[in-house]
């Protein structure tokens, strides 16, 4: 039982150099579904998201647009990143910006602490830097450029040229933590998930860890190094700290103790920052390492990672305007194994919307509610003697409840949805085999009709609860139509099969209306 235990989950904080695309929304939605699930299981849940606003990438974009970086960030946060949360229906508890005072002050506190403890020294570094990644690259991460960049070395992720930098910087003695990191991966095999990500991280650390350059002195858009204000803190070092500055690190010990450690959800491209650098930073500061780091896959377009810089970005609203936010959430989390890459296509989205949401779940809900309205004047009937078919539905309710919660515990979001969907399919099969519309024609079958409708009604209530993290809008409508008390979000998801419903149904509009695709 999950009662009372605390659960803190984070998304990466997003660079504000550009507007969000569906890859960013995917990260948000995944973390949101997991957090809603835990909240509905009675856990003291906290979901954090936010924006990453310092560094050269943002500075350059702002300069190119003739505004200060802070003006640029304010505009993007207000016009693009906060609206994204509405667009895909995110129920975050907090939104942190790295320009917040609560963040900047405590980044300095953290850094000073590491400096005082001898984890930081002055050094010199020369290497290739990718501003897109905000990271120094090793030779193996560079590939020959093509097209306009023919003859130059480019970053393998951004396909843009890297820059040779030579700077006197402050360094974090990260190499000193290699053994402790390896011991951590060994002792807690699920610290880095999925398995493929863990293997990659382990072999990366085994091959030897360098120290990390954590300051820059050639520009000043960042948090000032507390003992030397000619340097700003390296943007990743600054950004990673958001996960603790947002929950009271340095200023509210009780809040920090209540929330930390977090489960981090990140894209696999930024896994190493979270699974190597971040725990090493925390170890150096004497703080607990994260609860875990999950690296999800990429949304691919034309076989490549979707990205605005490569002009393959699709805005989330392009999908939600037509299909709605529930369909967005459902599609990306059920069609792609969480942890794997997935190709997006409009055809696949439209086909799944029709087959699974409209015909599968939506139609089931409409039919059951409409039959109770028609055959019972809207009064929810009670079951009489239960047959094997009825008992089977009840056992599938139990199984779907247990399996989906168990899958969420493993962060296997797609499996959790699939477990709940077994009940959608089972209920549709049940209606087909029990034929309540035929029973309704025969007054001698009244008890049986009422039993079938009562069983189906309860199954639908269980489904509303189980699917509410993924389909918050549709399940809220369904909950109202079922005449059930309170809100669906207040119901315990880990006991969805024991849900208590209402006595009177009301009309239910189509949950997933037919979509006329233009063209």
Instruction: Establish if 439 lies at the interface with ligand MSP (CB under 6 A).
Output: no
Site track for ligand MSP across 156-195, x = CB under 6 A: ----------------------------------------
Catalytic choice (305, 414, 458, 477)? 305
376 is known as an active-site residue: no
As a 3-state breakdown, the chain gives helix, strand, coil percent values, each rounded to 5, of 50, 15, 30
Instruction: Establish if 12 lies at the interface with ligand MSP (CB under 6 A).
Output: yes
Instruction: Establish if 26 lies at the interface with ligand MSP (CB under 6 A).
Output: yes
Binding residues for ligand MSP, how many (CB under 6 A)? 21
The CA distance from 434 to 289, in Å, is 54
Instruction: Establish if 430 lies at the interface with ligand MSP (CB under 6 A).
Output: no
Query: Which 8-state DSSP code applies to residue 504?
Result: B
Instruction: Establish if 128 lies at the interface with ligand MSP (CB under 6 A).
Output: no
List the structure tokens of 500. 């208590």
Task: List the end-to-end C-alpha distance of the chain, in Å, as a whole number.
Answer: 51
Sequential DSSP letters for 410-463: TT-HHHHHHHHHHHHHHHHHHHHHH-HHHHTT-GGGHHHHHHHHHHHHHHHHHH
158 is known as an active-site residue: yes
310 is known as an active-site residue: no
Closest approach, Cβ 89 to ligand MSP, in A, equals: 18
Dihedral sign computed on CA atoms, order 24, 30, 31, 35: positive
224 is known as an active-site residue: no
The span of 173-181, 249-257, 303-311, 436-444 binding ligand MSP (CB under 6 A) equals: 303-311
Task: For residue 188, give the 3-state DSSP assignment.
Answer: coil
The CA distance from 76 to 20, in Å, is 10
The span of 23-31, 153-161, 247-255, 357-365 binding ligand MSP (CB under 6 A) equals: 23-31
54 is known as an active-site residue: no
List the structure tokens of 504. 């009177």
Instruction: Establish if 15 lies at the interface with ligand MSP (CB under 6 A).
Output: yes
The CA distance from 77 to 146, in Å, is 34
Catalytic choice (38, 103, 133, 137)? 133
Instruction: Establish if 266 lies at the interface with ligand MSP (CB under 6 A).
Output: yes
Instruction: Establish if 276 lies at the interface with ligand MSP (CB under 6 A).
Output: no
List the structure tokens of 32. 């949101």
Which of 298, 328, 353, 361 binds ligand MSP (CB under 6 A)? It is 298
The span of 297-305, 350-358, 377-385, 500-508 binding ligand MSP (CB under 6 A) equals: 297-305
Q: What is the CA radius of gyration of the chain?
A: 26
Instruction: Establish if 52 lies at the interface with ligand MSP (CB under 6 A).
Output: yes
Would you say 30 or 408 has its CB closer to ligand MSP? 30
The span of 20-28, 441-449, 477-485, 503-511 binding ligand MSP (CB under 6 A) equals: 20-28
Instruction: Establish if 27 lies at the interface with ligand MSP (CB under 6 A).
Output: yes
- Nearest Cα neighbor of 235 from 11, 58, 27 is 58
Instruction: Establish if 23 lies at the interface with ligand MSP (CB under 6 A).
Output: yes
308 is known as an active-site residue: yes
Cβ atoms of 370 and 478 closer than 8 Å: no
Cβ atoms of 452 and 488 closer than 8 Å: no
Q: CA dihedral in degrees (264, 268, 273, 275; nearest 10)?
A: 60
Q: Which residue is nearest to ligand MSP (CB)?
A: 267
Render the burial of 245-260: b for 16+ CB within 10 Å, e for the rest.
bbbbbbeeeeebeebb
Instruction: Establish if 305 lies at the interface with ligand MSP (CB under 6 A).
Output: yes
Placement of tokens 């894209």 in the chain = 267
The span of 143-151, 238-246, 377-385, 445-453 binding ligand MSP (CB under 6 A) equals: 238-246
Catalytic choice (38, 57, 137, 155)? 155
The CA distance from 135 to 56, in Å, is 11
Which positions are annotated as active-site residues? 21, 24, 130, 133, 155, 158, 305, 308
Give residues in contact with ligand MSP (CB under 6 A).
12-15, 23-24, 26-27, 52, 239-240, 242, 266-267, 269-270, 298-299, 305-307
């Amino acid at each position: 039982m999950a009662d009372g235990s605390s659960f803190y989950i984070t998304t990466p904080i997003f660079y504000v150099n550009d507007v969000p695309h569906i890859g960013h929304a995917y990260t948000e939605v995944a973390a949101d579904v997991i957090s809603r699930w835990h909240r509905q299981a009675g856990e003291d849940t906290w979901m954090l998201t936010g924006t990453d606003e310092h560094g050269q990438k943002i500075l350059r974009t702002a300069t190119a647009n003739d505004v200060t970086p802070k003006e640029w960030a304010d505009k993007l946060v207000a016009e693009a990143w906060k609206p994204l949360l509405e667009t895909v229906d995110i129920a975050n508890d907090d939104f942190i910006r790295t320009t917040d005072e609560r963040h900047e002050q405590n980044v300095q506190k953290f850094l000073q602490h590491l400096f005082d403890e001898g984890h930081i020294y002055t050094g010199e570094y020369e290497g290739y830097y990718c501003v897109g990644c905000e990271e120094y690259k090793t030779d193996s991460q560079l590939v020959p450029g093509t097209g306009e960049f023919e003859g130059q070395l480019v970053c393998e992720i951004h396909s843009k040229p890297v820059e040779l930098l030579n700077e006197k910087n402050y360094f974090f003695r990260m190499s000193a933590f290699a053994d402790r990191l390896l011991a951590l991966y060994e002792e807690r095999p699920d610290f880095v998930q999925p398995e493929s990500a863990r293997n990659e991280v382990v072999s990366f650390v085994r091959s030897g860890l360098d120290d990390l350059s954590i300051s820059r002195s050639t520009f000043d858009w960042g948090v000032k190094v507390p003992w030397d204000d000619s340097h700003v803190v390296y943007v990743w070092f600054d950004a990673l700290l958001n996960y603790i500055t947002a929950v009271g690190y340095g200023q509210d010990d009780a809040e920090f103790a209540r929330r930390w450690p977090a489960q981090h959800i990140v894209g696999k491209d930024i896994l190493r920052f979270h699974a190597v650098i971040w725990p090493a930073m925390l170890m150096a500061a004497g703080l607990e390492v994260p609860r875990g780091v999950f690296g999800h896959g990429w949304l691919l377009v034309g076989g490549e990672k979707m990205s605005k810089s490569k002009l393959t970005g699709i805005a989330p609203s392009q999908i939600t305007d037509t299909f709605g936010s529930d369909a967005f959430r459902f599609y990306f989390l059920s069609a792609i194994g969480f942890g794997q890459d997935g190709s997006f296509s409009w055809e696949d989205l439209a086909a799944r919307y029709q087959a699974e949401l409209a015909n599968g779940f939506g139609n089931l809900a409409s039919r059951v509610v409409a039959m109770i309205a028609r055959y019972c004047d809207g009064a929810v009937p009670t079951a009489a003697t239960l047959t094997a078919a009825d008992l089977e539905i009840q056992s599938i309710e139990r199984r779907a409840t247990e399996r989906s919660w168990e899958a969420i515990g493993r962060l296997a979001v797609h499996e959790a949805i699939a477990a709940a969907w077994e009940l959608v399919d089972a209920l549709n099969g049940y209606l087909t085999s029990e034929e309540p519309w035929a029973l309704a024609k025969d007054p001698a079958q009244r008890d049986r009709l009422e039993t079938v409708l009562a069983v189906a009604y309860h199954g639908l209530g269980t489904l509303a609860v189980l699917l509410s993290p993924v389909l918050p809008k549709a399940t809220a409508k369904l909950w109202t139509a079922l005449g059930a008390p309170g809100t669906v979000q207040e119901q315990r998801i880990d006991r969805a099969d024991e849900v208590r419903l209402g006595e009177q149904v009301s009309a239910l509009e189509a949950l997933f209306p037919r979509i006329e695709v233009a063209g």
